[in-house]
Amino acid sequence: MESTTIFWLFSSILFFSLLLLSLLKPIFSIRRKLPLPPGTLGWPYIGETFQLYSQNPNVFFASKVKRFGSIFKTHILGCPCVMISSPEAVKLVLVTRAHLFKPTFPASKERMLGKQAIFFNQGDYHIKLRKLVLRAFMPESIRTIIPDIESIAVGMLKSWEGQLINTFQEMKTYTFNVALLSIFGKDEVLYREDLKRCYYILEKGYNSMPINLPGTLFHKSMKARKELAQILASVISIRRQMKHNHRDLLGSLMGDKEGLTDEQVADNIIGVIFAARDTTASVLTWIVKYLAENPSVLQAVTEEQVAIMREKCGGEKVLIWEDTKKMPITSRVIQETLRVASILSFTFREAVEDVEFEGYLIPKGWKVLPLFRNIHHSPDNFPDPEKFDPSRFEVAPKPNTFIPFGSGTHSCPGNELAKLEILILLHHLTTKYRWSMVGPQNGIQYGPFALPQNGLPIRLSLKA
């Protein structure tokens, strides 16, 4: 009896061992046969983070591509990474084989934004979140807040009159206020200053090393993140007691049928503020610079906007949704700015398993970074790529070569809102004001977005 038991026990162990070996064999086979992509990993832990964020990203990426080709490995923000720079490879990662590459961010950003934010998830939960965010940011919803966005834009421009201002910092204030409006509706004025105070501390640590020790940027940011969550918990509690239907993002996330926890709601609100603020502010800053440097383009935009303003004489003075559809030249300026400036140089994905990719191994857990900037600046995709030429968008670009908002199911759901707030600001800026840039015009600063030197100081004055 005892020998029989031992026999069956041995047989079972042998069977499951062989089964496990057969399951792991493909992985072992992949790892044994395939090399890692070419490239360098830099210093331990730090990697090549400082090389990337301390110089023109075009130089960093171009030198890597020239040396190693369109796919190469590196190490930034504490993560081993594979960077890809061809339109076809980017489509594979973001669309065709997207199930193998989950969206992610460096550990510092993931902890600061919240792990339940839309950026870090896949599957049914992501589908639900995307539906809720799109519901709040679809044209039918955001067109109702045009008068409020316009009021923010007009008030901000008026405060600039005769002043020497830092364009980027002022644009950050504008986009922050618009973001809060889209999230909380007109209630946002009740929470604006407390949210702003905490968020401004939080954002300083976004690209810091995740070292949670007193005195570090990351530690200060995490303390601000905790206070920010407490403020949002109070806001959510008040909103639940009101029991009114709201068409803003908070109302969409808090729908009774959606079943999101307060923590999930808070994570996604912080995530939306992050996504909506600095990127749009950067685009606006570059637009102001490019228009000042290209008088003929500025004249064309101004004439287009003046024509819309004159159509409204004797009628409704404020902008409406239909007006924003009469701005093709201005819209092409936005597109060309997104291409040339390439505010988001890349996006982060993470291999969910060992992946064979173009003859190389991408190990499970490694980050994969599609390089939007390289694609936007390739002469194969855009002739004379460094030239600012909005007319190139009179013809649609080749597929997968213009992807400023990403691609696939994880593309930016707020792009319509971003375009709307830019168009509204440009309408009032070009029809009512003139501006001049102050100081050096050729410098660019980095960290993490590429920006005109010193945030583009300008002096604004009313047109006669």
The annotation places the binding site at 412
Q: Which residues of 344-354 are buried (b: 16+ CB within 10 A; e: fewer)?
A: bbbbbbbbeeb
Sequence-distant (6+) residues with CB within 8 A of 164 are 438, 457, 458, 459
CA atoms lying within 13 Å on the CB side of residue 187: 16
DSSP state of 37: P
CA atoms lying within 13 Å on the CB side of residue 82: 28
3-state SS, residue 433: strand
Element (H, E) at 370: strand 367-370
**Closest to 297 (Cα-Cα) out of 257, 243, 334:** 334
Are the beta carbons of 282 and 168 closer than 8 angstroms? Answer: yes
3-state SS, residue 105: coil
Are the beta carbons of 60 and 52 closer than 8 angstroms? Answer: yes
Residue 165 bridge partners (DSSP): 458
Are the beta carbons of 298 and 443 closer than 8 angstroms? Answer: no
From the annotation, which residues make up the binding site for heme? 412
Retrieve residue 289's tokens. 């610079």
> How far apart are alpha carbons 287 and 330 in whole angstroms?
10
Helices (H), 116-261: 123-137, 139-142, 146-160, 167-184, 192-203, 217-242, 249-253
**Closest to 85 (Cα-Cα) out of 101, 67, 104, 62:** 62
Residues in the chain: 464
> How far apart are alpha carbons 87 and 453 in whole angstroms?
30
**Closest to 105 (Cα-Cα) out of 93, 94, 118:** 118
Element (H, E) at 166: strand 164-166
> How far apart are alpha carbons 290 and 339 in whole angstroms?
12
> How far apart are alpha carbons 88 and 109 in whole angstroms?
28
Retrieve residue 226's tokens. 């905790």
Pairing of strands 101-103, 349-351: antiparallel
